[in-house]
Amino acid sequence: MTRRRPLLAALVACAAGLAPAAAHGADRGPYVALGDSYTAAPLVLNQVGQPAGCGRSDHNYPSIVRRALGVAAFRDVSCSSATTEDMTAPQSVTFGTNPPQFGALSADAGLVTIGIGGNDVGLVGAATTCLQLGALAPTGTACRSNFARPGGGDLLAEQIAARAPRIAATLRGIHARSPQARVLIVAYPAVAPRNGKGCYPLVPLSDDDITYLDEMLRRTNAMIAEQAAANDAEYVDTYEESIGHDVCTLPGTRWFEGLIPTAPAYPLHPNALGEASMARSVLRVLGQPRPAPVLGPLRRSRRAIGAGRALRLSYTLSRAGSVRFGLQRSRGRGRYTALRRLTTVDAQAGENVVTLSARQLGRRAGLYRVTAAAGGGVAQTAEFRIRRAR
């Protein structure tokens, strides 16, 4: 999110051990890493790349993933403090400007990972506010009360929900520029204790403040997961593995640093151990087959057609792939005949149109249902009627 020890060889070996020899859909074309400071890893050794203000480490999770996969072409343009706006606009940082991160995308990219959203929803600003309040109120609900609406509801929760369209637009922007890439969106790990037990004054937050911030982080992750599912991206859960390695644990067990770091890392951010954990989570997802493209609803040209007429259907597909079409005739009372395969078409990403001919549909009058499926994804259906011949 916002800006501000070397990794043991054994950790790299462990991460590499989790990666398949050729991860599904990740061994073709360049690997592009986008994201904010949880991706860049500010102050984690060794800091590399320009501008220096992005705080990019060669032991951040994208770099570990790259080495584990043996990817030759790799572009890491992640930058601390980045928001979704910085995907398409230059970002001013200390000692320079980071170009729009989408500039690193290309049509031949095979893998894109992105970690974004925390700065958009205001998690870091909320944590800063809560730390200021907590310094004066080590007990109580100062943090939760600060964001509570007088009439009910929560300002931060509302902001998280309101930022969902930004995540969706960002994922669509990646697909538009890298249509063949496997796209993974990386969630935020468990920085705060999951059990709600704080470590005041190491982190000046009450137990309820800790619980509240963890609730908001999990709410953010849930929003990201929902947008991933709706926009042909794979969600990488980094939260579960990191439970028990929060800012209140002892050095060596701790994967995220407190306000006074004991290992090279920015406060309240992953250290080298945390970045290695995030890399393992990414590699686990890449070890699974790529999900089928998302097929949109079928839209028919008309509800009824005359016998001997063709039927035109339109639909969207999240990325290029094959779509199978089948036909069933209604037998009444919600029952249909067995599915009869009509055709398989190679569809492009975006809007598509298919015309089912009169020969494929037949001339028998009645109510029919067309079914379309892409890979093993969710099928879509549309009903239409063939009128009796006059």
Active-site annotation, residues: 37, 269
Residues 270, 38 contacting (CB under 8 angstroms): yes
Q: State the Cα–Cα distance between residues 265 and 276, nearest whole angstrom.
A: 13
Helix, strand, or coil (residue 241): helix
- Work out whether the CA dihedral 21, 23, 26, 31 comes out positive or negative: negative
Helix axes 164-177, 207-230, angle to 10 degrees: 40
The closest of 137, 76, 145 to 111, measured between CA atoms, is: 76
At residue 45, what are phi and psi to the nearest 5 degrees? -70, 145
Report which DSSP code applies to 238. -
Helix, strand counts (H, E) of the chain: 12, 16
Question: Order of strands, edge to edge, in the sheet holding 31-35?
Answer: 74-76, 31-35, 111-115, 182-186, 234-236
Helices (H), 115-238: 118-121, 123-136, 142-147, 155-162, 164-177, 207-230
Whole-number CA gyration radius for the chain:
25
Which residues are 382's β-sheet partners? 370
Contact 270, 259 (CB under 8 A): no
The alpha carbon of residue 200 and the mean position of all alpha carbons in its chain are separated, in whole angstroms, by 33
Sign for the CA dihedral angle at 347, 352, 358, 361 comes to positive
Q: How many CB atoms lie within 10 A of CB 254?
A: 20
